[in-house]
Amino acid sequence: MDLSGKVAVVTGSGRGLGRAYAAALAAAGAAVVVNDVDEAAAGETVGAIAAAGGRAVPVIAPVGDAEVAERLVATAVGEFGRLDVLVTNAGILRDRVLWKMSDEDFDDVVRVHLRGTFTCARAAAVRMREQGEGGRLILVSSPAGQRGNFGQTNYAAAKAGIAAMARTWAMELAKAEILVNAVVPVAATEMTRTIPAFAPVIEEAERTGEPFPPWLRRDEGLGTVEDAASLVVFLASDESKDITGQAIGIGGDRLALWAHPREKTVAFADGGWTADGIALDWHAGVGAAPESFGIPAPKGP
């Protein structure tokens, strides 16, 4: 993939998946605005990109407010002359079960993930429409947003909202040739390290330098952050010019297209449904095969 001449903003790119996205985009030729709240981490990402022959500048700020979003876009334009790609990766975790989750736990996560994606995408869309040459909005969602996850009311809700925004913006920005997709990555990060079935394998791989075993890469779809970065590079490239409004998963050896929510089964009652009528029909009719929910527990080797 050749991204020469393109300019990208990657939020939350000081470490983990965000750093991998920024590094991969730069390696493909794009100039990158690296964003993080950690100045040292952002500096390390910029330094690594520069050492590899790429171009990058840092912006140290938390996403959420419109002012930060506009600053990111202005930095891209001021430093590199344009903006072609936005990757909304920034996020935090405040995991609690429902009855223990505080207002602050909920608001903080939604502010960074959902509001941060909204404000950054809005600022980027304004600039891309002014340029008149199309663009790419690559929004980072999560399996938790597709299926729910224990202890992650705030995170799952935000990530589900991000996928919904991708579908909405794909329609709104189609005329401007701005493509919008959600990516659903699974990779070995500080978060997945906390999952008991994954932690020993991740630690062993890091200690020995050996690759993750096939069952983890293929069956669970979990690999390195670099594995996930390839999808972002593809979606930023001209090769993805006909792809928009999709939620695409990647991790380890697995690439997947997630289904959109849709009616699964439908039944009709002349004159409408009564509560008794629903009760009589449910188990043998519409509700005969209910949907599963939650991220499946890892099966192991």
Tell me the residue type at 113: H
Longest pairwise C-alpha distance within the chain? 70
Options 155, 175, 241, 299, the catalytic residue = 155
d(Cα 7, Cα 236) in Å, to the nearest integer? 10
What Cα–Cα distance (Å) separates residue 123 from each residue in 27, 270, 282?
25, 49, 46
Is 6 an active-site residue?
A: no
> 182: which strand partners?
139, 247
DSSP reduced 3-state for 33: strand
Q: In which region does residue 148 sit, left (phi positive, over 0), alpha (psi from -120 to 50) or beta (all else)?
A: left
Is 100 an active-site residue?
A: no
Is 230 an active-site residue?
A: no
Is 20 buried (19+), middle (13-18) or exposed (0-12) by CB count in 10 A? buried
Options 159, 264, 292, 299, the catalytic residue = 159
Cα angle, residue 2 at apex, residues 15 and 247 outer, rounded to 5°: 60
Residues 6+ apart with CB under 8 A from 203: 193
Options 13, 141, 142, 240, the catalytic residue = 142
Report residue 2: phi and psi, to 5°.
-110, 110
Residue 271 gets which letter from DSSP? T
What Cα–Cα distance (Å) separates residue 28 from each residue in 163, 178, 235?
26, 20, 12
What Cα–Cα distance (Å) separates residue 181 from each residue in 164, 243, 246?
10, 8, 5
Neighbours of 242 (CB within 10 A): 6
The set of catalytic residues is 142, 155, 159
